[in-house]
Amino acid sequence: MVDPIASLKGKRVLVTGGGGFIGSRVCERLVEAGADVRALVLYTSSGTAEWLDTSPVRAEVDIRRGDLADRDSVMDAVRDCEIVLHLGALIAIPYSYAAPESYVRVNTLGTLNVLQAVRECGVARMVNTSTSEATAPPASPP
């Protein structure tokens, strides 16, 4: 079977949420596979790139700071990429009840911005990461 990450060697790949728990590991695997990796990382005044700050591949990742809910920063990140892996999101379910508008802004509008940028820029492929909640919560705790 073809290793899907190995097949991205030489490709310019954007990872949204590239500083996140999963996104940072995806960046590492992509760099190891020889991809040209760009990460969209949420801008903060501290300048952190989250998990990527301590990653051995940090210097090899082209970090673009922005906000998924901001169309211009998404366009800046997507432009010239061949593949987009969309892992940026607000993920904490309990907080989504406390601050639902922020989830619509980041997860819904943010994903729309990624989709539109992908279409406008002619990106060959985009992979959207869903949530395990999409398959319904477990009947009982695991």
Ligand X SMILES: NC(=O)c1ccc[n+]([C@@H]2O[C@H](COP(=O)([O-])OP(=O)(O)OC[C@H]3O[C@@H](n4cnc5c(N)ncnc54)[C@H](O)[C@@H]3O)[C@@H](O)[C@H]2O)c1
Interface ranges with ligand X (CB under 6 A): 17, 19-23, 40, 42, 50, 67-69, 87-91, 106, 110, 129, 131-132
Question: How near is the Cβ of 48 to ligand X at its closest, in Å?
Answer: 9
Give the start-end residues of each E strand in 96-141: 125-128
Q: Which is nearer to ligand X, 90 or 115 (CB)?
A: 90
Structure tokens at 33: 């596979």
Q: Which is nearer to ligand X, 11 or 65 (CB)?
A: 65
Give the residue at shortest CB distance from ligand X.
20
Question: How near is the Cβ of 76 to ligand X at its closest, in Å?
Answer: 12
Minimal CA–CA distance to 25: which of 56, 63, 66?
Answer: 56
Q: Which is nearer to ligand X, 9 or 131 (CB)?
A: 131
Provide the β-strand partners of residue 63.
39
Question: How near is the Cβ of 108 to ligand X at its closest, in Å?
Answer: 12
Question: How near is the Cβ of 10 to ligand X at its closest, in Å?
Answer: 25
Would you tell me how many other CB atoms lie within 10 Å of the CB of residue 10? 10
Q: What angle do CA 21, 6, 42 make, to 5 degrees?
A: 30
Q: Which is nearer to ligand X, 10 or 127 (CB)?
A: 127
Provide the β-strand partners of residue 3.
none
Minimal CA–CA distance to 121: which of 66, 82, 67?
Answer: 82
